[in-house]
Structure 1
Amino acid sequence: MPRPKTMPDEEVLSAAFALMRSHGPDGLTFAALAAATGLSGAALVQRFENKTQLIQRALIQAWDGLDRQTAELMAAVPRTPEGAVALLVGLSGDYGGIDSYADDLRILREDLRDPVLRVRGARWRDVLSAVLDECLAGLPAAAPGLGLLMASQWQGSLLWWSFDPRVPITDFVEQSLARFVEAFARRPAD
């Protein structure tokens, strides 16, 4: 089968991200990407210059996808505590099983090492926290910053789930976040 002469960057970057998910960032090489896409290694180097640029562009594309998914879920959920839980449960569904979650943690290392990608993460945190603040505003014990606290609880619940993944991740997250909301649904003592 002849090599394709061209492939859109989006498809190449999707293949690069898939390689990182299955083999870790260290497993993403121009040779591995050439084998996965059918493009020549030289053509890939010409497009992306070096591995650092390739990883960054693949992860920026992944952040773009997460931003779109977050915006779609935000548009679909009511601005209620139940909507906040639904939003975070919806974002949890893409983690899949324990192996894919663990593989994604290897990729997070790359996000944390790159200042451009850290900015993307901080921007996503701010957008997510703001909509969670809106959803939780009606709770009796609501306070500014509760959205970020809930997002932190969500991330913690993902980590705790990973140590004992017998329950589906979305069920574990939903139960954890329901307890979180319940804690803030009680009227504070006078």
Structure 2
Amino acid sequence: MARPRSLPDAEVHDTICRMLSGNGDRAVSFGTVSRATGLAAATLAGRYGTRDGMVQAALGHFWDRLEAAAEDSAAETKAPAFLKALGEAADPHLVALSLTLPELRPRAEAWRQTVEAALALRLGRAEPAAMMFALWQGQRLWQEAGGRSFRLKDAARRLTPSG
């Protein structure tokens, strides 16, 4: 079967993000992305310039989706429902990888501040919001490793003044 001549950036970025999330930074090269998308490695090199440029473009796409998910979740009035609405968009592996890249770290930190501010509105104070954010991200990370989970609404209840 012939290789596709083109594929929308969003599809390429989604593929790269899945590779990064599942197998880490070392799993992504022009060759591995070429095999996963069907695009020629030379096409990818022409499109993104460098491997790092390709990864940054994919992570930029991830952050665009994550910021949109936070906006879409704003209607949720309870902290656990707000975090649940963010759902799969908030992949902790991609967030953590972004924190290691100087170009993306400011975006990750701004998103954390936005989410914590939204949680503070729902929980009544900033300190419990920061703890809730950390609990949520930790829960997402460790669930994949088989870690025992807790219910976010129970954590929210314990972190609020009336809880």
Residue 49 of structure 1 and its aligned partner are, at CA, apart by 0.9
Which of the pair has more CA radius of gyration?
A: 1
Letter in 2 for 1:13: H
3-state SS in 2 of match to 1:115: coil
Q: How does 1:39-188 map to 2 (within 5 A)?
A: 39-75=39-75, 77-78=76-77, 83-91=78-86, 93-94=87-88, 105=93, 107-137=94-124, 143-158=125-140, 161=143, 164-165=146-147, 172-174=150-152, 177-186=153-162
Contact map agreement 2:132 2:156 (CA 8 A) in 1: yes
Residue 110 of structure 1 and its aligned partner are, at CA, apart by 2.8
- Taking CA–CA contacts closer than 8 Å with sequence separation of 6 or more, which of the two structures ends up with the larger relative contact order? 1
Residue 183 of structure 1 and its aligned partner are, at CA, apart by 4.3
- For these two proteins, the number of residue pairs brought into alignment is 162
For the structure 1 residues 16 and 144, does the alpha-carbon distance in structure 2 shift closer, same or farther, using more than 3 Å as the test? Answer: closer
Distance in 1, matches of 2:14 and 2:141, equals: 26
3-state SS in 2 of match to 1:186: coil
* TM-score, reference length from structure 2: 0.83
3-state SS in 1 of match to 2:45: helix
Letter in 1 for 2:80: V
Residue 19 of structure 1 and its aligned partner are, at CA, apart by 2.0
Q: Could you give the per-residue CA deviations for residues 61-89 of structure 1, whole angstroms, max 9, x where no partner exists? A: 111111111211112x12xxxx1121123
Larger deviation, residues 121-130 vs 143-152? 143-152
3-state SS in 1 of match to 2:72: helix
Distance in 2, matches of 1:87 and 1:2, equals: 44
Letter in 2 for 1:152: A
Any stretches of 5+ residues in structure 2 without a counterpart?
A: none
Letter in 1 for 2:157: V
> 1:140 maps to what in 2?
none
Q: Could you give the per-residue CA deviations for residues 112-170 of structure 1, whole angstroms, max 9, x where no partner exists? A: 22112111111111111111111122xxxxx444422321232344456566535xx5x
For the structure 1 residues 65 and 183, does the alpha-carbon distance in structure 2 shift closer, same or farther, using more than 3 Å as the test? Answer: closer
Contact map agreement 2:95 2:108 (CA 8 A) in 1: no
Cα RMSD for the two superposed structures: 2.6
Contact map agreement 1:13 1:58 (CA 8 A) in 2: yes
Letter in 2 for 1:74: A
Contact map agreement 1:158 1:173 (CA 8 A) in 2: no
* TM-score, reference length from structure 1: 0.72
For the structure 1 residues 112 and 183, does the alpha-carbon distance in structure 2 shift closer, same or farther, using more than 3 Å as the test? Answer: closer
